[in-house]
Chain A
Amino acid sequence: MTRKENQAARARAHFPAFDLPAPSPTHAADALTPFHQLIKRLSETYGPSGSEEAVRELARAEIKGLADQIRVDAFGNLIALRKGAGNRRKKIMVTAPLDEPGVMVTFLDARGFARFGMLGAVKPLTLPGARCQFENGVIGVFGRETRGAADTEKDADAFFLDVGATSAQDAPVRIGDAACLVGEFRAAGNLLCGKALSGRARGAILIETLRRLKRATHDVYCVFTVQSQVGARGAGAAAFALQPDYAFVLDATPAQDFPGGDTNLALGKGPAILAQDEKMIASAAARQVLLEATRQTQTPYQIQAHARGGGEGAPIQAAREGTVTGALGLPVRYLHTQSEMVDARDVANIIEILTSVFAAKTL
């Protein structure tokens, strides 16, 4: 053996993995289905709370021809009505958000660094080193002050945005500009991952349900809501206008089937029927409708009993004389980060359940 060969053999001995066959891939890198392509497009579109125009136009184009009436209300909610044909038809409202969590520039300092505030439940700890994108395409990088870092891990005031400027004057963004997080859409088997995914997957569910729904028994109002991340501001207004008999909120359920998670909700085990969230206890009658639909469609489900997440249910339930309101949660890992992760089977199961509710003979 030459000296060289000898070295190579020793290297193999030290790094035996080099000689092992590669493990079989757990997920085939399939091409995306058209439906998953829609989710990808929605996920990658810019739309922090208050700047939902692009997402709304995308959704509006997708539902063209799938509804009997389409309108945008004073708040900016996109509302699509599919008329029902049943004799004992009810008015059903279903919501999914258009907006996503993001940040807004609140101040530009002399060196061109931007301070920002949160639009929705963005967690400061997830930000340093991450990127955001403004409507005009400008990319910002999140940074955190190092002075007194121990105290500032959670203090949003200690974070800043670097937009590549050298002064307040040459900054490519202005006070009041909003940005969304940057996170490329990826699919691995049933797992879908991307920014804004929890919300946009729910939007895609409404679109796909409208597409697949052949014949509705009930009058179905699909409401793509604005400003959901900043306190469910659009949903209550829509409920006031529509006065539905039943409302079903498509919600995001924090799945914590990861090391050290503290709830027992998981991805892929079916959508969560909410017993409650932080601000609402779901109406018993609406829960029954959802349970019945899971029975009819033989879909798995979980129950969210933890008072987590404040969705759009509360203001809808409280509208006018009261709306019977239920919530169906799409389980999501890493909620409100640039890498929200959902399971495509849960997405598909929600479509099954909604379709069954809309076509149910009686509610």
Chain B
Amino acid sequence: MKLNRRLFMGGAAAGAAVATLSAPMAHASTNGKPRVVVIGGGAGGATAARYIAKDSNGEIDVTLVEPTRSYYTCFFSNLYMAGFRELGSIAHSYGKLASEFGVNVVHDWAVGIDREARTVTLAGGATLPYDRLILSPGIDFVDGAVEGWDVTQQNKMPHAYKAGSQSELLKAQIEAMPEGGTFAMVAPPNPFRCPPGPYERISMVAHILKEKNPTAKIIIADPKEKFSKMALFQEGWGRHYDGMIDWIGPDFGGGNVSVNPDTMTLTIDGEETKVDVCNVIPAMKAGRICEIAGITDGNWAPVNPHTMQSRVDENIHVLGDASHQGDMPKSGFAANSQAKVAAMAVRSALTGSKLFPAKFTNTCWSLIDADDGVKVGASYEATDEKIAKVDGFISQTGEDSALRKATYEESIGWYAGITSDMFG
């Protein structure tokens, strides 16, 4: 589809435009109710579907399109790999969204969007009309981002950046490493899903190896000068896994990498290394349905921060990792927060319910070793230009073990909280 970009609601007009949205819009549907279709059942989409269904008291028809029957959260999947969580504990069904909130859950792939006709086509052949469409597809990988790697190689060199079978595969490979073997990670460039994620994963891999294979080595090839919670991770790696982890930043060629899945080799700045496990996390882009819809600019879909509406099409809202919104990191917490703003805006547009000012929050917890949790977070507001950071905090180096344990326990509470906020 050719991109025909109509940037709407730019600049100073946005405030006024938000206000007019609170008047119900004309809509056409078969049963007289306005229809919302949500594509993607993760932290953004499941939350948006649930909030719209819950708060509209049956006045809005909500359909959620999600291919998987059982959703594995990416957050806490690193903890599963290290044995802190059972796989089942990060799996969630959509049953309650259907039975308690009346969401029509369709397990299928969305393969086409006709923005003029306002319809979504599914791989199974069905067509879903919508008055508002919410896209929360998460991420896909940029083709050719890591030389030698593509998705056909993901069994030999897993990304494990979409949780589920990939997480199981990577865990199995780590556990099967030969004594004194090498685990390598190719870390992604910014921006990417879950900024502390690769480094929490390194911590969890080190945790397993320290117990089962203490002479093993870990290499990270990283194209970034700095990464999220860098001082906290580096302090923790020194404290828990001294000498095991070798982080190779761009100054030492960490950004000049190729892999060969057949020979299980990783080449950093021309120097080839034989590795036993290679976790390739390529550069990312918005889930492909955003490209199909023709609402992307570069790799991501720009949105109006007040409502999360696409800058290209006001009938489409984009949530979470896929959106280009400003200062928020690409995280499940952020997607969940954005979903509530979008849900309010959608209800307001379709039923005339109250529209309150958008507020956003994010907190990311990471685990460095057993009971050694850290966190970073911030609050945000919507400006016409972007979602802008207001205030923030981060765990400090040198914190005592009681505080770190409490931070970890807090993350467990948060997991229970956000997953019940997503799935009911």
- Chains A and B are bound partners: no
A: residues with CB less than 8 A from B are none
B interface residues, Cβ below 8 angstroms from A: none
